[in-house]
Amino acid sequence: MEKRSFEQDMKIESSTLINELIELTTQHIALAQQLQNNSPEELNKRPYEGSWSTLECIEHLNRYADFYLPEIEQRIKSSSAPSRKIFKSGLLGNYFANMMLPKRKLNKMKTFKQMDPIGSQLTADVIRTFILQQQRLIHILNTAREADLQKIKTSISISRWIKIRLGDTFRILIYHNERHMQQIKRIGIL
């Protein structure tokens, strides 16, 4: 994916955004498939005390997908707004999406308790679940080609009262995945 500098009022063709997000999600699936070749010991290894293992990173992403995938599907299904050619990011959605993008010096973020997998008993099934969720996400992204990425709004995981544009929701979810895929690469088991 071409690294794009996202400005305050990011504008992009809807189809281009969806294609870029599908490409990134496809890369995440490929990485997860590679992880399946590792032993349970490698997958559960933490690089240092208090950090997450590979499986904990993946489980964290699964927990977010458990919230966002049904939320997105329901919002698309209940909308009759036709697609529009250009997507313009909202101020709050663009802010959250940019926060999720991996940076050279990653800013640490506090994880909400229900999304924190540390200490969970995890198996490689976590990876299979992730792959299935990402395949479902690609299907949803393709469905969204016929939806209005700007007019349709979704709740976010930290508050059902805050609503952001569908295109921004996709960006937040997939950039968050990318952030943790980079973390997994730094663990060094690939």
* 9-59 residue pLDDT tens: 689 999 999 999 999 999 999 999 999 999 999 999 988 888 899 999 999
Q: Is the pTM of this model over 0.85?
A: yes
Instruction: Catalogue all structural domains in the chain, each as residue range(s) with its CATH number.
Output: 11-187 (1.20.120.450)
> Three-state SS across the chain?
CCCCCCCCCCEEEHHHHHHHHHHHHHHHHHHHHHHCCCCHHHHHCCCCCCCCCHHHHHHHHHHHHHHHHHHHHHHHHCCCCCCCCEEECCHHHHHHHHHHCCCCCCCCCCCCHHHCCCCCCCCCHHHHHHHHHHHHHHHHHHHHHHCCCCCCEEEECCEEEEEEEHHHHHHHHHHHHHHHHHHHHHHCCC
Task: Give the pLDDT confidence of 49-86 residue by residue, as tens digits.
Answer: 888 999 999 999 999 999 999 999 999 999 988 899 99
